[in-house]
A and B are shown apart, each in its own frame.
Chain A
Amino acid sequence: MATAEIPYQETVPLHHPKTWLGKYVFSQDHKVIAVQYGITAMAVGLVALVLSWLMRIQIAFPGFLEGFGADEYLSSITMHGMIMVIYLLTAFLLGAFGNFCVPLMCGARDMVFPFVNMLSYWVYLISVLVLLVVYPLMLFTDIQATGAGWTLYPPQTITAGTPGADWGIVLMLASLAIFIVAFTMGGLNYITTILQARTRGMTLMRMPLTVWGIFIATFLGLIAFPALFVSAVMMLLDRLIGTSFFMPAIVSLGQKLEYSGGQPLLFQHLFWFFGHPEVYIVALPAFGVVSDLISVHARKNIFGYRMMVWAIVAIGILSLIVWAHHMYVAGMHPAFGFFFATTTLIIAVPTAIKVYNWTLTLWRANIKLTVPMLFALSFVLTFIMGGITGLFLGNVIIDIPLSDTYFVVAHFHMVMGVSPILAIFGGIYHWYPKLTGRMLNDTVGKIHFYFTFVGTYVIYFPMHYLGFVGVPRRYYETALGGHFPDWYPVSAHHLNIFITIAALIVGAAQMLFIYNLVHSYFKGKKASDNPWGANSLEWRTPQTPPSHGNWDERLPTVHRWAYDFGVPGHDTDHIPQDVPRKESA
């Protein structure tokens, strides 16, 4: 299989910066950029975590928070959703894991265009700042963060009465457009690196599944984010210069607005053409990471590697033709509901292939319950949970009564909120030793895991029930004038108090994780080159942590896939990818 082709990266010298600024701040090293992405994403994620606390406190104890009115509640919902989906999950899985894993796992020295890669991070940082500048502005001016909900549906998004309809939405849309520019610069690098800058012997079908997940997710991003970009541009024009792309003739507060003839549904189609693939932009890298984690920590080859790859590809393609299952109640043609329900349910096939393969990988394996493994296993469980409720919501007839209830909140938090977060945690616990040269504290890690995992179910399981009862989502206050409406069981409110207390505790438990990250960086146990006994190339670098350029003069040569664990007749329990095959084998 291996050809005599010389990897181009072996022939060109890497630019080594001399100054501290060039090494650690404006660095072109993919590993430093990964850390920058990771820290920024986690910081902005903490903001979103605090927002969710505020919302939960308001739901359980209305009026407890002074100055947290309906406007603040709605804008918190919007910011929490947008931050978590885009600025944390997308940025972390593709920006941090993508940058760290792709060159190391492919055996490349760096990304193909390190300068563009560096720009990608700095533009991402600008988008985060444009997003968050609304909070200082809220303190000193009467500008309000947008409260349109993270889907930003017009016409309510830019009509009076919605918080931030004047300037909050402008900041949000501008930030999104900037983020897309940043993502494109990074994404082009990941794809080109994977396609054109692998090392000797690294065929596509020998790549670890993490790289496959990132590869297809990035590709999805490059064709889905344009829809968000276009809708952001069009809504900005509607808001700023008074075009009517999305705005129909409309009466607001007794006044006929200047708008006429636009199409609100068009925005929903554009948004969800981005929004649904976005779920898989987040899920596919998580799938990949979890596949690798399960295989390594169960000391067994991944079951059905090829099927795992094709399932990732199939999910990627299918995810582009299911978007309108988010719009069953939007008033589109009913025949569309039939089509999109069908395609949605078909996605269950490749997804089930993945879940069965993870399970079969675990079957009779030598499972080591390390912290990364615990998180990987919890990902599989949580993803199955979220996937099954997805079957409910994918069917038009069941979706309609469940629409806009807490069932939906429970579903998407399970499947695309918590699941990828669990995969991210697993990935961090797994790769931290390679990144820093130190181990994370195991005991703190396990406490963090049980709080997070059990907490997930304590928080989101009851929400399914709330949804069936009919509790609507996004309501600032259910009890008007201190009295609950007749249809609202008091037990639902008690359940809400329970969920809030759990959410506060689980959120606080995340501080353990941050403590662990910081403390272990200075005081953690020294890590060996390959503490988990993994096979993929990132564990075979000459130095730990890998130096700039990753490898020696010569890039490693790959002779096998990344999953040779417990090969019969072999003296070690794992065979790294760069170990040559025996003559007989």
Chain B
Amino acid sequence: MTDATAPSTTESILTSTARDWSSDVTTFKGVPWGKAMMWIFLVSDTFIFTCFLVSYMTVRMTVTDPWPNPSEVFALAIPNELFGWQFLESPIPVPLLLIAIMTFVLISSSGTMAMAVNMGYQRNKKGVVLLMSATALLGFTFVAMQGYEWSKLIFEEEVAPWNNPMGAAQFGSFFFMVTGFHGLHVSAGVIYLAIIAYRVGRGHYDKTNFEIVEITGLYWHFVDLVWVFIFALFYLW
């Protein structure tokens, strides 16, 4: 970037924004194509999740059959014994325990991702590979726990997308569809992270500023952000 386009410290954001939008060549100064494209894709993807969640809210508010109590459905019991060692009188069911752990894991992965982006700017390839791998691992853990949650719902509670012994069938339909769609996003993200981490390690991006790490990070943070809404609307409502 030349000095002519560098923002001066004295002008307001409004002035510099207006200047960028009225300038030639690029509207977002210093933003690589891939990053701009990822942002625009995320806007589009936001609308997909918004449509899913608004549909869910609409149906949930109008459905006549009872809606299961999420605190009970998603409760996880702390076992009273481990490997024959009994440390509690009886198992303690804790509402939302599993989902709390899952959310913690996913939010932590956003933290490691942010650190990876920072390492990218410092051109610390080893740090990038390590932290991106950690992010992918946390993401994988999330998907694995989601698989456990799904199997618990399917086999123990006998909830299916078309059937729900506790009330409205739409509970299962929306739960599996929306968390499934989000889970696909996370899985795709894990693969994406793994590929980019591998390529960073192989020196594929040495001639660039490692923007690719930030672009991957954008996607990952988006997937995490979506989870916050799914968490609030499915588990806390």
Stretch from B30-38, B75-83, B93-101 at the A interface? B30-38
Within 8 A of B (CB), among A211-256: 222-227, 229-231, 233-234, 237, 241-245
Minimum CB–CB distance from A541 to chain B (whole Å) comes to 19
In the complex, the answer to whether B24 meets A201 with C-beta atoms within 8 Å is yes
Size category of the binding interface on chain B: 35 or more
B198 at the A interface (CB under 8 A): no
B63 at the interface (CB under 8 A from A): yes
- A266 located at the interface, meaning its Cβ lies under 8 Å from any Cβ of chain B in the complex: yes
B112 at interface, CB cutoff 8 A: no
A243:B161 contact, CB within 8 angstroms: yes
Is the CB–CB distance between A1 and B31 below 8 Å?
Answer: no
Residues A245 and B37 in contact in the complex (CB < 8 Å), given A195-B28, A262-B170: no
Instruction: Assess whether A8 is interfacial by the CB under 8 Å rule.
Output: yes
Q: How large is the interface on A (under 10, 10 to 19, 20 to 34, 35 or more residues)?
A: 35 or more
How far is A203 from B170 in the complex, measured between Cα atoms in Å?
Answer: 50
A200 — nearest CB in chain B belongs to which residue?
B24
Question: A266 and B48 in contact (CB under 8 A), knowing A1-B23, A3-B5, A237-B173?
Answer: no
Min CB distance A457 to B, Å, is 38
Interface string of B145-183 (1 = CB under 8 A from A): 000000000000000011000001110011001000100
Point out the residues of chain B lying under 8 angstroms from A270, CB to CB. Answer: 51, 55
B44 touches A223 (CB 8 A): yes
Q: How far does the alpha carbon of A62 sit from the alpha carbon of B57 in the complex, in Å?
A: 47
Residues of B within 8 A of A260 (CB): 65, 169
Please report the C-alpha to C-alpha distance between residue A273 and residue B47 in the assembled complex, in whole angstroms. 11
Assess the A195–B27 pair: CB atoms within 8 A: yes
Q: CA separation between A4 and B26, bound complex, in Å?
A: 12
Cα–Cα, bound, A8→B30 (Å): 10
Give chain B nearest CB distance to A480 CB in angstroms: 38
- A263→B59 CA distance, assembly (Å): 7
Residues of A within 8 A of B37 (CB): 112-113, 188-189, 192
Q: How far is the CA of A231 from the CA of B55 in the complex (A)?
A: 9
* B43 sits at the interface (CB 8 A): yes
B162 and chain A: residue at smallest CB distance: A242
CA distance A266 to B31 in the complex (A): 39
Contact B5 A5 (CB under 8 A): yes
In the complex, are the beta carbons of A261 and B36 less than 8 A apart? no
Q: Are B24 and A2 in contact, with the CB atoms below 8 A? A: yes
**Contacting residue for A8 out of B33, B43, B45, B168, CB 8 A:** B33
- Chain B residue nearest to A191 (CB atoms) is B40
CB-CB under 8 A from B33, the residues of chain A are: 8, 112-113, 192, 196-197
A536 on the B face (CB < 8 A): no
**Contact surface of B with A, Cβ cutoff 8 Å:** 1-2, 4-5, 21-29, 31, 33-34, 36-37, 40-41, 43-45, 47-48, 50-52, 55, 58-59, 62-65, 161-162, 168-170, 173-174, 177, 181
Seed contacts A2-B24, A113-B37, A237-B173; 17 additional CB < 8 Å A-B pairs: A3-B23, A5-B23, A7-B25, A113-B33, A192-B37, A192-B40, A197-B25, A198-B25, A205-B22, A222-B43, A223-B47, A226-B50, A237-B177, A261-B65, A261-B170, A263-B59, A273-B51
List residues of chain A with CB under 8 Å of any chain B CB: 1-8, 112-113, 184, 187-189, 191-192, 195-206, 222-227, 229-231, 233-234, 237, 241-245, 258, 260-263, 266, 270, 273, 558
